Amino acid sequence: MKFNSVAFVAARQKQAQEALKSLKERYDSVPPSKADVIVVLGGDGFMLRTLHKYLHRNVPIYGMNRGSVGFLMNTFRETGLMRRLQRAEPIVLHPLRMIATDARGKKHEALAINEVSLLRYTRLAAKLRILVDGHVRLEEMICDGALVSTAAGSTAYNLSANGPIIPLGAELLALTPISAFRPRQWRGALLPAEAKVTFEVLDAKQRPVSAVADDMAVRNVRKVDVVEDRTVAPVLLFDPEHNLEDRILREQFMV
């Protein structure tokens, strides 16, 4: 890949801002609105926010880790950036589209690169009915919540909730319970990428639930539909030796 104009964006943390200053001194740059590649300096959280912010630009995004985990980021180096961008390998992501209906019947839409999660927010456990493609698969689950994860997000909250890691390209989604009390033995399901998952909140008045698409939250939901949106396709760039597919594979052998 050859890029003619580069933009730099950075998280507020000190090390990200210091990296931003150094890179702008070393390389010519333009505003993100005019760039044909955006270089992100920060951690995974900032990368997700940047992906959401510039979805409409439809330009590749290359991250360098100036945060903590950095699963979606490349190693930070000041030198050789243009060469790294030329050699970088693209990964196309397809986010989830959440349509959440609240207690007043109002619909809220949002995209999630990682996952859509439902969570209780009082002392009482949530009660959820789960449908897949319109068919009831769980009549009632008593739990702290549940989530639907993309492959790219399967190593994030999904993994913390003991969900499966999904290789990129597997065309699968993870449906994972969060601290399920009943049915106690259910550990979740792997679904085709084109599946539509619907959560119906039971006893919603006494057991209120919020729905979260990455970092966009809706409280007091009654129903949440989740489906992969193939019309949206942000592109992440990775160094060949730091490929996201290989990292997801290696994550499955971590002990």
For the chain, which domains are there?
Answer: 6-93+233-251 (3.40.50.10330), 96-228 (2.60.200.30)
Per-residue pLDDT of the chain (255 residues; tens, 9 = 90+): 788 899 999 999 999 999 999 999 999 999 999 999 999 999 988 999 999 999 988 899 999 999 877 788 999 999 999 999 999 999 899 999 999 999 999 999 999 999 999 999 999 999 999 999 999 999 999 999 999 999 989 988 999 999 998 887 789 999 999 999 999 889 999 999 999 999 999 999 999 999 999 989 999 999 999 999 999 999 999 998 766 667 677 776 765
Positions marked catalytic = 44
What is the strand order of the sheet 189-192 is part of? Answer: 189-192, 172-178, 145-149, 115-120, 209-213, 216-218
Please tell me the predicted confidence (pLDDT) of residue 241.
77
Please tell me the predicted confidence (pLDDT) of residue 255.
58
Instruction: Give the pairing of strands 37-42 and 61-65.
Output: parallel
Please tell me the predicted confidence (pLDDT) of residue 58.
87
Burial 86-100 (b: 16+ CB within 10 A, else e): eebeebebbbbbbbb
pTM of the full structure: 0.86
Please tell me the predicted confidence (pLDDT) of residue 40.
97
Query: Strands (DSSP E) along 30-183, which ranges?
Result: 37-42, 61-65, 89-92, 96-102, 107-112, 115-120, 126-132, 135-143, 145-149, 172-178
Please tell me the predicted confidence (pLDDT) of residue 243.
66
Please tell me the predicted confidence (pLDDT) of residue 56.
87
Residue 93 is which amino acid? L
Rounded to an integer, what distance in angstroms lies between the CA atom of residue 195 and that of residue 226? 9
Rounded to an integer, what distance in angstroms lies between the CA atom of residue 41 and that of residue 38? 10
Task: Tell me what percent of the chain is helix, strand and coil, each rounded to the nearest 5.
Answer: 20, 40, 40
β-sheet bridge partners, residue 224: 100, 199
User: What's the token pair of residue 230?
Assistant: 């193939």
What are the DSSP calls for 173-218, one per residue? EEEEEES--BSTT---EEEETT--EEEEEETTTTS-EEEEETTEEE
